[in-house]
Amino acid sequence: MDQAPLSPTEFASAVTAITSAFGDPSRRAIYLFAHEHLDGVTAAETAERFALHPNVARHHLDKLSSAGHLEVTTGRGAGGGAGRPSKRYKATAERVSLDVPVRQDDVLITLLGRALAMLPREAAERMAEEVGIEYGLTMAKAMGDSSDTTRSFRAALHVVADALTAHGFAAHAEKHNGMLRIVSENCPFGDTVVQNPVICAVDRGMVKGMLSALVGHSETDLQSSLPMGDDVCITNVSA
């Protein structure tokens, strides 16, 4: 019997599942790094160890914490030192087995990639962007009072970049050659997006959706992307 196509909500859930507890190699490595330090690790230490943006390191640590794999304490490491105590993340149990033969995330990502490959490129990209827009609108709504319609377009871009960073994109907003843009140094979709670049339309849609809720209609233009071999993903944005 033929299965019904994924609804926008189911599609968004599949995308979100990619970044769950042990959803990528970086997060598994960060867990093992924390497990090796009895006094825990900070976001700054983790960022330095894995050459990550501190916000991205904190995002991974918080995900592991919310899933119950790390506990959060406030204090100084074994070296002590002056200054304000840092938030430290400690393993909650003995080593967790991370070598699961088949993970649900792997199945979902493979299914997503193959489903997109069966569609004409324009249709797949349009669907991915629409889902991203819906998800972006939901993200903006979840910001509550932070969705201030009186904010400037540039200030809204910084809000959007912070939200993307919280989802693993390591993003920041900047002005370059007179253009406002969002630069993402990491892609949480991993190798799947290299094989199926149309998935890039998801985060482009997220930007559109969030900006639509924050300041109104906007236009986005993808200038460079990691799947195309560039060092970073750059999306030019205009009101």
Three-state DSSP at 183 gives strand
In single-letter form, the type of residue at position 4 comes to: A
In single-letter form, the type of residue at position 17 comes to: A
Three-state DSSP at 86 gives strand
pTM of the model: 0.55
In single-letter form, the type of residue at position 186 comes to: N
Q: Could you state, in order of their start, the residue ranges of all structural domains in the chain?
A: 24-91, 124-238
The answer to whether 143 touches 226, Cβ cutoff 8 Å, is: no
pLDDT (tens digit per residue) in 158-210:
888 888 887 778 888 898 888 899 998 888 777 777 777 888 888 888 999 99
pLDDT (tens digit per residue) in 72-97:
988 655 555 555 667 899 987 654 44
- Positive or negative torsion for Cα 153, 156, 161, 167: negative
CATH fold group of domain 24-91: Arc Repressor Mutant, subunit A (1.10.10)
The answer to whether 199 touches 116, Cβ cutoff 8 Å, is: yes
User: Fold match between 24-91 and 124-238?
Assistant: no
Q: Give the homologous superfamily in CATH for domain 124-238.
A: Trafficking protein particle complex subunit 3 (3.30.1380.20)
